[in-house]
């Protein structure tokens, strides 16, 4: 037995009070004259033994009363195995981690198998809850309330599978608390079946658990032996005939160093192989990392699929391979919208843009030019980017078409100029542009001094064009529109020394908006005549192509928009062949796109249009790769003791019990049910003793005989 406030045990001294009172009462007894003491003496002689017993009994009871009261106030904690499940109205929320890290297998059983087994024990055991909810951490389906259908939970558990992404245990616990909040069960608990992966338990300690105990079943039987690929970067400058660089990040979560063979495979052919030795995972700093680089030059214009893989088998197979899908050879179709024309090449923005677009030899850009007044929704069919060269204003229909185009993944590039009406732009593209277009500032002319634009060399449009910053040419801006009320998500490519964006980008929907507040001609700046203009225009187009499918690699669980690239006429359907060979049939929405969401399994997904008439020469087909979330390769765990201590430090009084099995967790909880404060029970004993004391102390009064009739004046009369 332990005590919450042992200092209060000093109150035990109060047990001596009855004895002291007894002694004091003896000393201070009042004096009373009485005719004869003979009957008192006779009574005392006859009842001496009984009175002595009663004296002692009363003294004992009163002393015990005070002693128990003092003990109760000190809040004794009794170690007992009864208790925790004494009340059968038991509501529990079961959280099962089904992230990929739970796929770590040892001796034929994965952590997920162990979690399901232990959870099933809870649902089928003698101490099973009366009402439960099952939350799978990486599943989108979430219970709305607790229910008593345990068989349903068992079925759901047996059918559950691993999913990509971090297991957000804290989020799940928050949901569990919400579910339990209105539950009237006297006993509540949240069971977490997890491998105690550190990243899964982030922010859990910050949660106020409202005194609902957390039962942590640690399903990680031992430290894993695993080297995984948690990331694969493919260089952005991808084009046929030029080497594409692949950088794979390897992570070692093993307690020992590991030497692994890593190879690159493209279209089924092994391209390169390398050997790496990785140091063991440090206990505090977490796993160790290293990178492996491969290069490959693609020559044929088609969809290429491949993977970087670790040859050695280990405890977690899913992160041994990282796949990719790249599309080469397709043209980026661009529409150039000509606004107000200017006489003479370098002073005509449309001409300057046309030259830049047409001269791109590293990437096939197919340009089409339309006059501003003829521009409409139809102009954007099958186009990946649209350039506006000093377009004075937009009609509502034109603006709506542009917004829809960008939302669907296209890129809209606005080059302003003297003709542009800022108010029209602000009205038509409110919320789309990086900011509100204000007044044009600066002077134009031979004698006017321009501003030296500040270049953001980390922006993808400028990054890596020259080896040194000094090699970048000076951009002189004489006049530009000042942007006001900038959105927080814009990125400046070029800006004035005062910070006003000259060229800025903003992602909107699935696409991007690029706004140049100055001209694409020499009229207001020297940009179009520098060596930066061509790469910027080219990279804008390149980026548009990437978003539309050049790199078709996705994380598992994400929704993939499949765009055939050409308009499919008539009722159109496409088939998606899953990594395991199963085929999913999808309708094409408006003949141009389909959304595929069943990307739970990592691998290569291939699609082809099987119904409908293609507007192009070929029946469109393609592929995309799905990889697990690389964060799951970091298998470093958090010690349950540490986690429990942290949670308890933030949530005073909450119980956190842990163990490798459900039984161990229950045993820990039973141990702490110790924790049941006994003071209320002791108070009950005190009350009982008070009653006994009252009975014992007053038994004479109760036993008094009535006055004999001959001594009763009323009766005698």
Q: List phi, psi (to 5°) of 382.
A: 70, 20
The count of other CB atoms within 10 Å of the CB of residue 576 is 21
Q: Under a CB-based contact definition with an 8 Å cutoff, are residues 212 and 180 in contact?
A: yes
Instruction: List, in sequence order, every residue forming a beta bridge with 441; answer none if it has no partner.
Output: 480
Nearer to other proteins, 470 or 717 (CB): 717
Number of residues that bind other proteins (CB under 8 A): 37
Rule CB under 8 A: choose which of 5, 20, 34, 570 binds other proteins: 34
For other proteins, which stretch binds (CB under 8 A), given 32-40, 259-267, 291-299, 656-664?
32-40
Rule CB under 8 A: choose which of 5, 7, 20, 30 binds other proteins: 30
428-465 burial, b at 16+ Cβ within 10 Å, e below that, comes to bbeebbbbbbeebbbeeeeeeebbebbbbeebbbbeeb
Rule CB under 8 A: choose which of 5, 36, 269, 343 binds other proteins: 36
Rule CB under 8 A: choose which of 38, 439, 449, 485 binds other proteins: 38
Least distance in Å: CB of 705 to other proteins? 7
Least distance in Å: CB of 6 to other proteins? 37
Least distance in Å: CB of 29 to other proteins? 4
Rule CB under 8 A: choose which of 344, 488, 570, 713 binds other proteins: 713
Task: Verify binding: residue 46, other proteins, rule CB under 8 A.
Answer: yes
Calpha distance 136→152 (Å, rounded): 14
Q: Under a CB-based contact definition with an 8 Å cutoff, are residues 406 and 397 in contact?
A: no
Rule CB under 8 A: choose which of 31, 313, 343, 649 binds other proteins: 31
Nearer to other proteins, 38 or 458 (CB): 38
Instruction: List, in sequence order, every residue forming a beta bridge with 652; answer none if it has no partner.
Output: none
Task: Verify binding: residue 56, other proteins, rule CB under 8 A.
Answer: no
For other proteins, which stretch binds (CB under 8 A), given 33-41, 130-138, 260-268, 331-339?
33-41
Q: Which two tokens stand for residue 196?
A: 């105690």
For other proteins, which stretch binds (CB under 8 A), given 29-37, 304-312, 315-323, 402-410?
29-37
Least distance in Å: CB of 13 to other proteins? 24
Q: List phi, psi (to 5°) of 311.
A: -75, -35
Rule CB under 8 A: choose which of 13, 42, 381, 690 binds other proteins: 42
Which residue has 């030029």 as its token pair?
242
Q: Under a CB-based contact definition with an 8 Å cutoff, are residues 514 and 541 in contact?
A: no
Least distance in Å: CB of 71 to other proteins? 29
Nearer to other proteins, 653 or 703 (CB): 703
Least distance in Å: CB of 34 to other proteins? 5
Rule CB under 8 A: choose which of 29, 446, 468, 470 binds other proteins: 29
Instruction: List, in sequence order, every residue forming a beta bridge with 218; answer none if it has no partner.
Output: 194
Q: Which two tokens stand for residue 172?
A: 């799940």
Least distance in Å: CB of 690 to other proteins? 17
DSSP state of 585: E
Q: Which is it for strands 511-516 and 436-441: parallel, antiparallel or unpaired?
A: unpaired
Which residue has 């249009």 as its token pair?
609
- Binding to other proteins by CB under 8 A, coded x per residue (else -) over 690-709, reads -------xx-xx-xxx-xx-
Nearer to other proteins, 145 or 711 (CB): 711
HEC-encoded secondary structure of 461-524: CCCCCCCCHHHCCCCEECCEEEEECCCCCCEEEEECCCCCEEEEEEEECCEEEEEECCCCCCCC
The count of other CB atoms within 10 Å of the CB of residue 242 is 13
Task: Verify binding: residue 716, other proteins, rule CB under 8 A.
Answer: yes
Least distance in Å: CB of 56 to other proteins? 12
Least distance in Å: CB of 127 to other proteins? 53
Least distance in Å: CB of 66 to other proteins? 20
Q: Which two tokens stand for residue 320?
A: 């041994």
For other proteins, which stretch binds (CB under 8 A), given 35-43, 287-295, 386-394, 610-618?
35-43
Least distance in Å: CB of 28 to other proteins? 8
Q: Under a CB-based contact definition with an 8 Å cutoff, are residues 213 and 189 in contact?
A: yes
Task: Verify binding: residue 41, other proteins, rule CB under 8 A.
Answer: yes
Q: Which two tokens stand for residue 362?
A: 């590293």
Nearer to other proteins, 617 or 708 (CB): 708
Task: Verify binding: residue 571, other proteins, rule CB under 8 A.
Answer: no
Task: Verify binding: residue 44, other proteins, rule CB under 8 A.
Answer: yes
Q: Which two tokens stand for residue 335?
A: 């529409």
For the chain, the C-alpha Rg in angstroms (whole number) is 40
Task: Verify binding: residue 715, other proteins, rule CB under 8 A.
Answer: no
CA distances from residue 513 to 353, 426, 557, 686 in whole angstroms, order as listed: 17, 14, 28, 78
Rule CB under 8 A: choose which of 37, 145, 468, 590 binds other proteins: 37
DSSP state of 710: G
Least distance in Å: CB of 702 to other proteins? 10
Task: Verify binding: residue 241, other proteins, rule CB under 8 A.
Answer: no
Nearer to other proteins, 54 or 584 (CB): 54
Task: Verify binding: residue 270, other proteins, rule CB under 8 A.
Answer: no
Q: Is 425 exposed, middle or buried (0-12, 13-18, 19+ CB in 10 A)?
A: buried
List, in sequence order, the alpha helices (H) in 309-463: 349-358, 396-407, 422-428
Which residue has 């029209």 as its token pair?
424
Q: Under a CB-based contact definition with an 8 Å cutoff, are residues 4 and 71 in contact?
A: no
Task: Verify binding: residue 51, other proteins, rule CB under 8 A.
Answer: yes
Phi-psi region of 51 (alpha: psi -120 to 50; beta: other; left: phi over 0): alpha
Task: Verify binding: residue 49, other proteins, rule CB under 8 A.
Answer: no
Task: Verify binding: residue 452, other proteins, rule CB under 8 A.
Answer: no
Least distance in Å: CB of 57 to other proteins? 12
Task: Verify binding: residue 717, other proteins, rule CB under 8 A.
Answer: yes
Calpha distance 331→544 (Å, rounded): 11
Nearer to other proteins, 7 or 25 (CB): 25
Side-chain half-sphere of 398: how many Cα atoms within 13 Å?
Answer: 20
Task: Verify binding: residue 20, other proteins, rule CB under 8 A.
Answer: no
Q: Which of 519, 539, 547, 594 shows the shortest CA–CA distance to 406?
A: 547
- Binding to other proteins by CB under 8 A, coded x per residue (else -) over 643-682, reads ----------------------------------------
Rule CB under 8 A: choose which of 6, 19, 55, 616 binds other proteins: 55
Nearer to other proteins, 145 or 709 (CB): 709
Which positions lie near other proteins, rule CB under 8 A? 25-26, 29-44, 46-47, 51, 54-55, 697-698, 700-701, 703-705, 707-708, 710-711, 713, 716-717
């Amino acid at each position: 037995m332990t005590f919450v406030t042992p200092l209060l045990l000093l109150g035990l001294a109060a047990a001596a009070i009855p004895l002291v009172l007894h002694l004091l009462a003896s000393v201070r007894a009042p004096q009373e004259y009485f005719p004869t003491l003979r009957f008192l003496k006779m009574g005392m002689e006859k009842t001496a033994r009984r009175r002595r017993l009663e004296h002692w009994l009363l003294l004992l009871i009163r002393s015990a009363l005070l002693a128990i009261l003092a003990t109760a106030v000190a809040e004794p904690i009794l170690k007992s195995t009864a208790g925790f499940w004494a009340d059968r109205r038991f509501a529990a929320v079961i959280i099962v981690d089904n992230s990929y890290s739970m796929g770590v297998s040892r001796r034929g059983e994965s952590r997920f198998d162990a979690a399901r087994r232990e959870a099933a024990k809870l649902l089928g055991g003698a101490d099973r809850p009366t009402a439960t909810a099952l939350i799978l951490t990486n599943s989108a389906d979430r219970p709305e309330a607790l229910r008593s259908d345990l068989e349903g939970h068992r079925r759901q558990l047996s059918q559950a599978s691993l999913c990509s992404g971090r297991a957000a245990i804290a989020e799940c616990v928050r949901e569990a608390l919400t579910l339990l909040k209105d539950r009237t069960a006297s006993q509540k608990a949240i069971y977490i079946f997890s491998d105690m992966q550190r990243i899964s338990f982030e922010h859990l300690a910050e949660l106020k658990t409202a005194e609902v105990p957390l039962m942590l079943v640690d399903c990680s039987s031992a430290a894993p032996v695993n080297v995984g690929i948690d990331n694969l970067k493919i260089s952005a400058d991808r084009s046929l005939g030029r080497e594409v660089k692949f950088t794979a990040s390897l992570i070692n979560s093993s307690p020992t160093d590991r030497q692994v063979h890593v190879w690159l495979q493209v279209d089924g052919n092994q391209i390169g192989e390398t050997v790496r030795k990785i140091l063991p995972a440090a206990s505090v700093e977490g796993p160790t990392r290293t990178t492996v680089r491969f290069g490959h030059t693609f020559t044929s214009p088609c969809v290429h699929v491949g993977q970087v893989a670790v040859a050695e088998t280990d405890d977690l197979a899913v992160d041994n391979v990282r796949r990719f899908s790249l599309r080469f050879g397709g043209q980026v179709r661009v529409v150039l919208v000509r606004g107000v024309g200017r006489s003479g090449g370098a002073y005509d923005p449309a001409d300057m843009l046309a030259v830049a677009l047409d001269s791109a030899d590293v990437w096939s850009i197919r340009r089409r030019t339309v006059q501003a007044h003829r521009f409409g929704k139809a102009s954007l069919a099958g186009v990946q980017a649209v350039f506006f060269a000093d377009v004075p204003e937009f009609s509502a229909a034109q603006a709506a078409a542009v917004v829809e185009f960008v939302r669907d993944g296209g890129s809209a590039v606005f080059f302003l100029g003297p003709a542009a009406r800022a108010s029209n732009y602000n009205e038509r593209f409110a919320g789309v542009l990086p900011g509100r277009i204000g007044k044009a500032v600066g002077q134009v002319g031979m004698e006017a001094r321009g501003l030296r634009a500040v270049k953001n060399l980390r922006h993808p449009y400028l990054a890596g064009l020259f080896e040194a910053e000094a090699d970048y040419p000076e951009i002189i801006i004489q006049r530009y529109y000042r942007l006001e009320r900038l959105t927080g998500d814009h990125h400046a490519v070029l800006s004035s020394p005062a910070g006003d964006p000259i060229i800025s980008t903003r992602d909107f929907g699935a696409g991007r908006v690029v706004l140049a507040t100055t001209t694409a001609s020499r009229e207001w700046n020297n940009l179009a005549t520098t060596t930066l203009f061509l790469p910027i225009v080219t990279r804008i187009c390149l980026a548009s192509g990437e978003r539309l499918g050049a790199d078709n690699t996705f994380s598992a669980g994400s929704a993939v928009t499949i765009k055939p690239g050409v308009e499919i006429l008539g009722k159109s359907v496409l088939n998606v062949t899953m990594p395991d060979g199963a085929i999913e049939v999808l309708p094409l929405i408006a003949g141009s796109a389909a959304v595929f969401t069943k990307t739970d399994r990592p691998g290569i997904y291939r699609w082809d249009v099987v119904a409908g008439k293609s507007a192009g020469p070929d029946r469109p087909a393609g592929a995309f790769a799905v990889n697990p979330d690389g964060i799951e390769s970091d298998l470093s765990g958090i010690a349950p003791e540490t986690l429990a201590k942290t949670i308890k430090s933030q949530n005073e009084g909450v119980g956190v019990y842990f163990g490798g099995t459900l039984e161990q967790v229950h045993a820990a909880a039973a141990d702490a049910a110790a924790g049941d404060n006994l003071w209320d029970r002791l108070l009950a004993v005190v009350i009982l003793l008070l009653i006994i004391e009252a009975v014992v102390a007053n038994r004479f009064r109760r036993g008094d005989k009535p006055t004999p009739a001959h001594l009763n004046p009323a009766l005698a009369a």
